[in-house]
């Protein structure tokens, strides 16, 4: 059974993975220290398929990609938040952790069953639809590839300065 | 419709007019990697099928977060990066030069009109040099290493105008803490902040770096000061470059405009545990502190140490406080040393360390125990940032840090004769 882990506003990357663990790169090892000192039961109780639901500005602070990697290593498949910090949002997409922006994230409570329909543009929370912000086209291509590494493997050079309206 | 300075930079680089909201694949003039995010960026580069770095001469590599290596794991990361530098013919400053952002500026790696990325969130500091500079994650950096280019969404711009002259012992850090308190920790998310006004025009490069450095603390993608004679004088000493006009058009479209008058601004202190909790120093004066950290890319420059020395005079720091002073780079260290300030600080009881990030990142040394209180000139005071999640970090200017170090409690530097 999928579990919702609920967090508040301004959850920073130091909270997600403290600076002293940044010599670690293995996702499962990082996962052992996720939210250490902030929410100690997270690392021991989190299960594959669980999701995080948070308020505003999730992932603010440092550019450390260890943060989304730690969450993905813990089995988290999706982070739903009212808003994300810019670098975390992009890092999450790049490493294959789905960030979903939902104005009504605050109405989701621990124990709810949550599913996402990206093409439809909504979450299904206990059978009720909550609208989500669409993921920009160019990021959706990366999501569909499974992350930026897989996307980048597809070509040897990129056409510089191709502009597209979003 | 006119263009903002950021739109102009992307238009120049893309050789076509682009405006805010567009997504472009733009060439990167310089890419900076350090010992925390670098090893992962290199792994991603290889995983992407990378064999040769696109433009090794445009990569700035150095170690600053964990130097000298504070663990075997850190030492292994350093070795991994040194080997990559050799293999790819990247010049590696290793642990010799100091904190990445200060060094990138000093080496002239960020000039007006350039696009610079760094695998560190405070990369936005290079906007002080008129560059568009933004922090990215390791996978994006792996991409930039492989392709010499990266996707950018051209950001909208918030214009922050600061006018007036600071009181004595009040300065750029107080300004930016008050701006952060006003705009909020996410008030500029995905946007650029352009700093203008006569306060900025009169500000030296060190102060401009302090302001741009903390743009990220409002969620901004970049901070930028339009290049003027102060900028061009700075960059011209570092490399051959012909000055040109670069500023937002009068009829450019800004998504927000804020105006501040600094004339009556008090020294600011950001309370735990968020950067946007800045208050007048009077509100927290008297708070007992265990540690003072003066340094970091935000406030570890010679100008900052001159301010500290002026406040300190011939006094000693309180023996109830650990005062840790770390110049941001070898060059700043030498300037401070030659001016006799290091001797003054050591005599006063401070611990002066070699250039590095120090306690700012809460990993290497200078960590706090539960219940301890730190006053820091760095840029973040998140719970656990400098050690235990049970500790508290307050942020302030070098002058306030110095005054507080003398008395062992948060002190208004204007009250120190």
Please state the φ and ψ torsions of residue B183, each to the nearest 5 degrees.
Answer: -80, -35
Residue B185 has pLDDT above 70, yes or no: yes
Q: Does any CB of chain B come closer than 8 Å to the CB of residue A154?
A: no
* Cβ neighbours of A152 in B, within 8 Å: 48-49, 142-143, 146-147
A138 closest CB neighbour out of B23, B77, B361: B23
Is 3.40.50.880 the CATH classification of the domain at B269-415? Answer: no
Residues of B in contact with A61 (CB under 8 A): 121, 380, 382
Residues A64/A88, Cβ–Cβ less than 8 Å: no
Whether the pLDDT of residue B24 is over 70: the answer is yes
Mean pLDDT of A14-41: 94
The C-alpha of A119 sits at a distance from chain B's nearest C-alpha, in angstroms, of 21
- Asked whether B158 and B247 are in contact (CB, 8 A), the reply is no
One of 3.40.1280.10, 3.90.920.10, 3.30.499.10, 3.20.20.150 is the CATH number of B5-260, namely 3.30.499.10
Among the partner residues A14, A62, A160, nearest to B25 by beta-carbon distance: A160
pLDDT tens for B311-328 read: 999 999 999 999 999 999
Average pLDDT value for residue range B256-271:
98
Q: Name the CA radius of gyration of chain A, rounded.
A: 16
Evaluate whether B330 touches B233 at the Cβ level (below 8 Å): no
Query: What does pTM read for this prediction?
Result: 0.96
Between A148, A160, A163, which is nearest B18 by CB? A163
C-alpha dist (Å) from residue B412 to B293, B400, B401: 17, 6, 9
pLDDT per residue over B213-239, tens digit each? 999 999 999 999 999 999 999 999 999
Choose among A14, A15, A163: nearest Cβ to B24: A163
Residue A104 burial (CB < 10 Å; 0-12/13-18/19+)?
Answer: middle
- A100 pLDDT band, cuts 50/70/90, is very high
Which chain B residues contact residue A20 at CB under 8 A?
Answer: 362-363, 367
End-to-end CA gap in chain B: 52
DSSP codes joined into one string, B23-69: EEEEE-SEEEE-TTTHHHHHHHHHHTT--S-S-GGGEEE---SS-S-
Cβ distance of B382 and A61 shorter than 8 Å: yes
Q: How far is B186 from chain A (nearest CA, A)?
A: 6
Asked whether the beta carbons of residue A163 and residue B23 sit closer than 8 angstroms, the reply is yes
| Residues B12, B18 contacting (CB under 8 angstroms) | no
Residue A58's pLDDT band, with cuts at 50, 70 and 90, is: very high
Owner of token pair 């990030």: B357
Q: What is the pLDDT of residue A165?
A: 44
Residues whose CB falls within 8 Å of the CB of residue B194, separated by 6 or more in sequence, listed in order:
B4, B5, B6, B157, B158, B159, B160, B223, B224, B225, B226, B248, B254
- Inter-chain contact B23–A91, Cβ cutoff 8 Å? no
Identify the burial level of B242 via C-beta atoms within 10 angstroms of its C-beta, where 0-12 means exposed, 13-18 middle and 19 or more buried.
Answer: exposed
pLDDT band at A45 (very low <50, low <70, confident <90, very high): very high
CB contacts of B36 in chain A (<8 Å) are 22, 64
pLDDT of residue A161: 67
CA of B97, closest CA in chain A: separation in Å?
A: 21
Looking at residue A56, what DSSP letter applies? S
Query: Token pair for residue B282?
Result: 């009077």
Q: What is the pLDDT of residue A166?
A: 40
The residues, any chain, with a CB within 8 Å of residue B351's CB and separated by 6 or more, are B322, B323, B324, B325
Sorted by where each begins, the domain ranges of chain A are 4-134
- Look up residue A162 and give its two tokens: 């191709």
Q: Which helix H or strand E contains A41, and what residues bound it?
A: helix A41-45
Q: Which residue in chain B has the smallest CA separation from A150?
A: B48
* Residue B74 clears pLDDT 70, i.e. is over it: yes
Q: What is the pLDDT of residue A10?
A: 95
Rounded average pLDDT over A47-65: 96
Residue B294, CA distances (Å) to B327, B404, B409 in order: 8, 11, 15
B145 confidence band (pLDDT: 50, 70, 90): very high
pLDDT of A163 reads: 52
- Dist CA B296 CA B397 (whole Å): 12
Please report the residues numbered 13 through 72 in chain A whose beta carbons come closer than 8 angstroms to any beta carbon of chain B: 14-15, 18-20, 22-25, 37-38, 56-57, 60-66
Name residues 105-144 of chain A within 8 A of B (Cβ): 136, 138
A157 — pLDDT class (breaks 50, 70, 90) = confident
Contact criterion met (CB below 8 Å) for B39 and B77: yes
Q: What strands lie across the sheet with B278-280, from one edge to the other?
A: B278-280, B268-270, B392-395, B373-376, B291-295, B322-326, B351-352
pLDDT of amino acid B174: 98
Q: Give the lowest-confidence range in A49-63, A149-163, B205-219.
A: A149-163
Please give the average per-residue pLDDT across A101-105, as a whole number.
97
| Mean pLDDT over the full length of chain A | 92
> pLDDT grade, residue B90 (50/70/90)?
very high
What is the domain partition of chain B in residue ranges? 5-260, 269-415
Instruction: Evaluate whether B5-260 and B269-415 have a shared fold.
Output: yes
Mean pLDDT of A105-130: 94
Task: Show residues of chain B in contact with A38, CB under 8 Å.
Answer: 383-384, 389
Determine the pLDDT at residue A155.
82
Distance CA B193, CA B245 (A): 19
pLDDT the model gives residue A158? 80
Q: Domain A4-134, what architecture?
A: Alpha-Beta Barrel (3.20)
B357-407 tens-digit pLDDT: 999 988 889 999 999 999 999 999 999 999 999 999 999 999 999 999 999
* Share above pLDDT 70 across residues of chain A, in percent, rounded to a whole number: 96
Query: Which of A94, A157, A160 shows the shortest C-beta gap to B137?
Result: A94
Q: Distance (Å, rounded) from C-alpha B284 to C-alpha A164?
A: 49
Residues of chain A neighbouring B382 (CB-CB closer than 8 A)? 12, 14-15, 61
């Amino acid at each position: 059974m999928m579990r919702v882990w609920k967090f508040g506003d301004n959850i920073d990357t130091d909270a997600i993975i403290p600076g002293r663990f940044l010599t670690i790169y293995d996702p499962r090892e990082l996962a052992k220290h996720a939210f250490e000192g902030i929410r100690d039961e997270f690392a021991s109780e989190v299960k594959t398929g669980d999701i995080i639901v948070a308020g505003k500005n999730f992932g603010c602070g440092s550019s450390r990609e260890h943060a989304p990697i730690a969450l993905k290593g813990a089995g988290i498949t999706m982070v739903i938040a009212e808003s994300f910090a810019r670098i975390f949002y992009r890092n999450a997409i790049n490493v294959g952790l789905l960030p979903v922006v939902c104005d009504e994230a605050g109405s989701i409570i621990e124990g709810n069953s949550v599913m996402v329909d990206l093409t439809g543009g909504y979450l299904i929370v206990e059978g009720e639809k909550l609208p989500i912000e669409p993921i920009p086209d160019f990021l959706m291509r990366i999501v569909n590839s499974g992350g930026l590494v897989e996307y980048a493997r597809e070509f040897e050079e990129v056409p510089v300065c191709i502009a597209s309206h979003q | 419709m006119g263009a903002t300075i950021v739109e102009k930079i992307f238009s120049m680089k893309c050789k076509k007019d682009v405006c805010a909201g567009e997504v472009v694949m733009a060439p990167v003039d310089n890419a900076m990697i350090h010992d925390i995010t670098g090893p992962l960026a290199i792994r991603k580069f290889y995983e992407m099928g990378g064999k040769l770095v696109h433009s090794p001469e445009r990569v700035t590599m150095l170690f600053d977060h964990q130097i000298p290596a504070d663990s075997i794991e850190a030492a292994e990361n350093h070795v991994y990066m040194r080997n990559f530098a050799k293999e790819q013919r990247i010049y590696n400053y290793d642990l010799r030069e100091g904190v990445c952002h200060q060094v990138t500026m000093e080496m002239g790696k960020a000039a007006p009109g350039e696009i610079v990325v760094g695998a560190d969130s405070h990369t936005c500091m290079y906007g002080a040099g008129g560059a568009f500079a933004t922090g990215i994650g390791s996978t994006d950096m792996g991409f930039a290493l492989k392709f010499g280019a990266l996707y950018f969404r051209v950001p909208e711009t918030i214009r922050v105008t600061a006018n007036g002259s600071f009181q004595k012992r009040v300065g750029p850090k107080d300004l930016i803490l008050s701006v952060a308190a006003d705009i909020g920790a996410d008030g500029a998310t995905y946007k650029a902040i352009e700093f203008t006004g006569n306060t900025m025009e009169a500000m030296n490069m060190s102060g401009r770096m302090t302001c741009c450095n903390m743009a990220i603390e409002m969620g901004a993608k970049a901070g930028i000061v339009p290049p003027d004679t102060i900028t061009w004088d700075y960059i011209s000493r570092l490399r051959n470059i012909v000055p040109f006009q670069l500023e937002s058009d009068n009829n450019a479209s800004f998504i927000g405009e804020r105006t501040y008058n600094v004339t009556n601004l008090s020294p600011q202190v950001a309370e735990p545990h968020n950067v946007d909790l800045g208050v007048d120093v009077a509100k927290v004066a008297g708070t007992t502190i265990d540690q003072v950290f003066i340094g970091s890319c935000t406030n570890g420059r010679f100008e900052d140490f001159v301010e500290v020395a002026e406040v300190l005079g011939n006094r000693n720091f309180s023996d109830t406080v650990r005062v840790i002073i770390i110049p941001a780079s070898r060059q700043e260290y030498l300037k401070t040393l030659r001016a006799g300030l290091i001797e003054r600080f050591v005599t006063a009881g401070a611990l002066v360390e070699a250039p590095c990030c120090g306690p700012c990142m809460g990993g290497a040394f200078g960590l706090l125990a539960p219940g301890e209180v730190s006053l820091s000139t760095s840029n973040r005071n998140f719970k656990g940032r400098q050690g235990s999640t049970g500790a508290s970090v307050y942020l302030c200017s070098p002058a306030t840090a110095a005054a507080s170090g003398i008395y062992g409690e948060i002190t208004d530097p204007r009250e120190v004769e």
